[in-house]
Amino acid sequence: MSKKLQGMRTRLLVAAVAGALGCAGFASAAVPAGGQFAVLTKSTQLSRGDVIRGAVPISQAVHVTLALKLRNDAQLKIFIANARQPGAAQRVMSRATLASDHLPTAAQAQAVAGYLKNAGFNNVKIHAGNMLVSGDASAATVQSAFQTTLVNVRTHDGRNAFANNSPIRIPATLQGSVQAVLGLQTVHKARIMAQPNAVVGVGGHYPTEFAHIYGASGLPPATDVAAAVWGWGSMQNTVNDLDDFMGITGLDAGDVAVVCTDTNGIDWNTGEGLGGTTIGDPTCNGNFDFGEVEWAMDSQSILAMSGGVKSLTFYAAYGGYNTTITDSLNEIVNPSVGEPLPQVINASFGECERYQDANQGGDGSMQSNDAMFQVAVAQGQTFTVSTGDSGADECGFGNPLNSASYPASSPWVVAVSGTTLRASDTTWARENVWLGAGGSPSSAEMAQPWQTHLTYGPFKGARGPDVAFDANPASGELVLIQGSYAQIGGTSLAAPLTAGAWARILQGNPGLGFAAPHLYALPASALHDVRSGNNRGYIAGPGWDWATGLGSFDVGRAAAALSSD
């Protein structure tokens, strides 16, 4: 069949599906008074190679999460900006103040929950912090409630998924409260950034060596700091690897726990019991192991760089879906099952930001997560996030000018790019840009005051990377996996090294709070400025650049420089 005929066939199929569901799918909608609905987000933007395979069965159960907007968002941003100033009277906002002034109100959450119940949803739940309201329903009910259509999609990477192929609408009365309706597409997923070493390189390093190389070993261990690894799937093998690592190194991760969200899946055909949150079951209700190598590298890197932590919590979502990632994020920012509030959290994953930005055809998870990241910053949490391993073109559109990975592109996290490290077992020598390091201006996010003045060129003012640590697999880390060492790299290594470094700095100065503004206040003597190399789009040069941000830093010198801040 010719490409022209294939395109025509696809368009006809989409029209037929939309038409059929448009006639039959909305009959049971719980229409608000006056019947007014408003468009919230557009239809899902498919990737090249994704193919629509007809309508979703009307009986298929779907787990939906509605993300609510913050209140007084501008005032919260002002607080964050002021908190970064040297000698600021208040760096961390109390939970009571957040609840009274900025988190959605109970009345707003109840109104959303009431709509879902009236529309026919089951298991309707208001999550901690009132930022999320979730529920389960059949595809027919979902389509009716949000006046959209769901279609099956065979993705370019061979998965069976579904997506909304028409706009999502909500009652006009909820417009002031609802940020996004998540869970109506499973086409776009985050990916982990771990990269195996396929070639002989400049030499790998055991996790404990990085603390010496980056100047952290002279500082006290971070035994008063609560740390976390954010990922998905079963963590059983990863926890076993961590136990083995602690036995070999003598390092202590303190209280180790696994918090699982959406333990019963998101699209099973039972119609009951989707979602769910547990603590204490590292298998996450028998979930699959989707990333042992990644989460093992994260946890071992944090522990070794920090010298030990008070607690290490693994937050495990159900897969890397946008909606389940958001559900898990809410648990980190608004704990509900008794786990400690982590001060340093690592995320070694991401996806093209365009698929999450509501203004570019995404599902709005960017806006929803940004709200939670702002709450995290206000209460003193720091997320370190990998910028990606596809160079300057993380979206793969062939245009590397502004193609960033999210959540690294959020201005409320520390975005960590990658280098090739030249060092002995104990001594740093130099770093240059790793060719695969994700580093690019954001297509959607703006830099915050601590970074804005350093950005340059056509995308001046856009969000870019903050720092960069070792990421080249050829100079990567020897990670303990089921009793054997494997040399792994990627910005998946750079990010947890940064997390462990910041944990060690917090140990001596626990009032610092969010890391990013303080990193931009470091003197040149504490920074390892990366001045050579490129990532297939941007060239490193003196000072901050789009490829590596500020470069890496000497942890001991940074701690000393921030001691009076």
Catalytic residues: 294, 298, 492
403 CB-near residues (< 8 Å, 6+ apart):
352, 392, 393, 394, 395, 396, 397, 440, 443, 537
Rounded to an integer, what distance in angstroms lies between the CA atom of residue 479 and that of residue 22?
Answer: 53
Distance CA 336, CA 483 (A): 35
- Cis omega before residue 407 (within 30°)? yes
Cα–Cα distance, 504 to 383 (Å, whole number): 15
β-pairing verdict for 132-138 and 122-126 = antiparallel
- SS3 per residue for 40-60: EECCCCCCCCCEEEEECCCCC
- CA 197-203-206 angle, to 5 degrees, is 85
Closest by CA position to 256, among listed 267, 277, 241: 241
Q: How many CB atoms lie within 10 A of CB 418?
A: 39
Angle, alpha carbons 358-363-367 (nearest 5°): 55
Question: Tokens in use for 81?
Answer: 């900006």
What is each CA distance from 7 to 3, 42, 369, 465, in whole angstroms? Answer: 6, 21, 35, 39
Torsion of CA 121, 126, 127, 128, to 10 degrees: -170
Taking the alpha carbons at both ends of the chain, their separation in whole angstroms is 67
d(CA 563, CA 565): 6
Measured in whole angstroms, how far is the alpha carbon of residue 326 from the centre of its chain?
A: 8
**What distance in Å separates the CA atoms of residue 395 and residue 472, rounded to the nearest whole number?**
20
